[in-house]
Structure 1
Amino acid sequence: MSTATIAGSGALVLWAFLALLARMAAGVPPLQLTALGFAVGGALALAVVAARGRLGLLRQGGVAWAHGVGGLFGYHALYFAALAFAPAVEANLLNYLWPLLIVLLSAPILGLHLGPQRLAGVGLGFAGCVLLVGAGASFPAGAAFGFACAVGCAVVWAVYSVTSKRMAAVPTEALAGFCLATALLAGAAHLAFETTVIPDIRQWTAVALLGAGPLGAAFFLWDEGMKRGDPRLLGTLAYAVPVASTLLLLAGGEGVLDWRTGAAALLVVGGGILAATARG
């Protein structure tokens, strides 16, 4: 495993805490949470880039800015909305369609080989998601919107991640600017569509941790992994994250582990293991 792929794996560890920290900030509207989290993450990243004397690397073309800001803003606004409007455990697992989609999109976009074993792994992961929200599942009114947001953010992040390989010339340091631009865009959208909530100590703590980890350092690690590592391996290793993330949610008192959720998680992880052990 290359150093770049190891770096991408580090991002997966940090993202396992994303759902729990987002639920810790429950009560803060999704767009406001996106703005605050990225303001913290972007400010920390900018400080590191400035200390290294590399602020000039923030000057990038319009395509790079559209790709970076579009991916970061689109995914997280939809993700936080999913957790706000749908049961956290189920929405979080649906969000993890994105590793499955990364594996699938690597073939048409990057020309990488999939093979029958990877496709079988993808099929198992998809079956787990169908079991989670399919026939017989019961959810509160309004959950459908949250689930749609969860699927939407999975699509956005998969496309962003796979196309990052095409943006290899864009330095990782530019992410500091993308994070701050995402904070500004989310802030403007929040003022236009939401009512501002003044966070309490618990919510501010969650925002700070989100900005330092899942909305900060994780992006730099993931950028390195997707641009210079193996996107197929990272996409399949990411199947371990929904289980870790779900267990952290359950430990935090968010949801109950019933047979449907447990079976869905096993299918998702089993598919990931099957795909990750494929040769070539």
Structure 2
Amino acid sequence: MREALNARHLAMAGLVLTTLFWAGNALVARATHESIPPFALSFWRWFIPTIYLLPFTLKAISRYRDELKKHWIEVIALAFFSVGAYNTILYLAAQSTGAINIALVSSTMPLMIVLFSALILRELPGRMQLIGLIAAFCGVIVILTRANPERLTNVAFNRGDLLMVLSISSWALYSVLIKRWPLNIPLFPLLCILITLGTPMIFPFYLWELNTEGGFDLTSGNVAALLYVGTLPSVAAYFLWNNGIKTLGPGTTGLFAYLIPVFSALIAVPALGETIEPYHAIGGAFVLVGLIASSWQNRTRKPTCRTGP
């Protein structure tokens, strides 16, 4: 019992770090949208870890080749929805929609995960999970609107927002399918394999972009941005997210996505010189209550996702 509780606490701590890394990823994407094209950012984000993880990937492919042959369709689908599609579409959407729109659409991710869980896994949310979902969503809205609901009436949606819906749907589907398809491959080797399979899926679009729009300059800022997105928001965050799904389930794990706008606001204080306002505290408190409520419901549940032996 104590070991299971410790595993849950570690998984939750890992998910907090995941959302912190992804908040930094969103800020980097916005900061470099004029200097690094979207497909280039997506491709190099995954090509960098493909290189330094290559020894582990080759070992994983050799060791789990029978499992890969048996479930090759599932593995390719997971690579597509996570590495190939999610961030590529997100970076593309960032070119034609605003930060508020991105945050608003992204806030539907936990709801989409709960919806896909109900449709695919036949797992309906409990009372506490629904309370947590609503509370955390309200907290995000408070932060995004700065406690002024009239700001929502000024939001105009465009093609970029449709791309954001596709991006979030892709990640929500991945988060549910990785539980639906319990592969006998441990988390880290599976991540190495998914990155290796997903990166080539982006390459044709990167070549098209390179031919039509050109590349980017290897400035110190661009290199630092690529090194960041190629480590913490990719390898570290994906590993911790998968561990959260394995330990807590996709529904509770998805709720942690509500921490992304909270961390984005906190990071903006030192990075952009912004100040902490009361609505930050109010919204953050709602998100925290939502996370506690959801995880309280599932504290006695045993994990059913088997992503490794």
State the match for 1:17 in structure 2: 24
Match of 1:108 among 107, 116, 119: 119
* Kept in 2: contact 1:11–1:218 (CA 8 A): yes
Q: CA deviation at 1:179?
A: 1.6
Structure 2 matches for 1:1-280, cutoff 5 A? 1=5, 3=7, 6-7=10-11, 8-9=14-15, 10-27=17-34, 28-50=36-58, 53-57=59-63, 59=65, 60=68, 61-126=72-137, 136-137=151-152, 138=154, 144-171=158-185, 172=187, 173-193=189-209, 195-199=213-217, 200-249=219-268, 251-253=270-272, 271-278=290-297
1:16 is matched by which residue type in structure 2? Answer: A
Q: Which string of whole-angstrom CA distances, capped at 9 and with x for unpartnered residues, describes residues 227-272 of structure 1?
A: 3543333222332233113332454339998999987776655544
Superposed CA offset, 1:57-105 (max 9, x none): 5742122112222332211012212333222354135323212322343
User: For this pair of structures, how many residues does the alignment match?
Assistant: 276
Shift of 1:33: 0.7
Cα distance change of structure 1 residues 105 and 85 upon mapping to structure 2, 3 Å threshold: same
**In 2 relative to 1, CA 2–266 (structure 1 residues): closer, same or farther, beyond 3 Å?**
closer
For 1:198, the aligned partner's letter is F
Give the structure with higher Rg (CA). Answer: 2
Distance 1:254 1:152 in 2: 33
Distance change >3 Å, CA 274–CA 223, structure 1 → 2 = closer
**Contact 1:90 1:261 (8 Å CA) reproduced:** no
CA distance in 1, matches of 2:233, 2:222: 15
- After alignment, is 64-73 or 104-113 more displaced? 104-113
Q: CA distance change for structure 1 residues 129 and 114 in 2, over 3 Å: closer, same or farther? A: same
Q: CA RMSD in A?
A: 3.4
Aligned-pair distance for 1:30? 1.2
Relative to structure 1, is the Cα distance of residues 5 and 148 closer, same or farther in structure 2, using a 3 angstrom cutoff? farther
Does the 8 Å contact 2:74/2:181 carry over to 1?
no
Change beyond 3 A, Cα 1:256–1:181: farther
Q: Is the 8 A contact 1:73 1:182 kept in 2?
A: yes
Gaps of 5+ in 2: 301-309
For the structure 1 residues 257 and 152, does the alpha-carbon distance in structure 2 shift closer, same or farther, using more than 3 Å as the test? farther
Between stretches 234-243 and 117-126, larger displacement belongs to: 117-126
Deviation at 1:166, TM superposition (A): 1.9
SS at match of 2:213: coil
TM-score w.r.t. length of structure 1: 0.79
Give, in angstroms, the shift of residue 148 of structure 1. 2.5
| Structure 1 residue identity aligned to 2:195 | C
8 Å contact kept, 1:237–1:276: no
SS of 1:20's partner is helix
What is the distance in 2 between the residues matched to 1:62 and 1:188? 21
Unaligned runs of 5+ in 1: none
Quote the sequence identity (%).
24
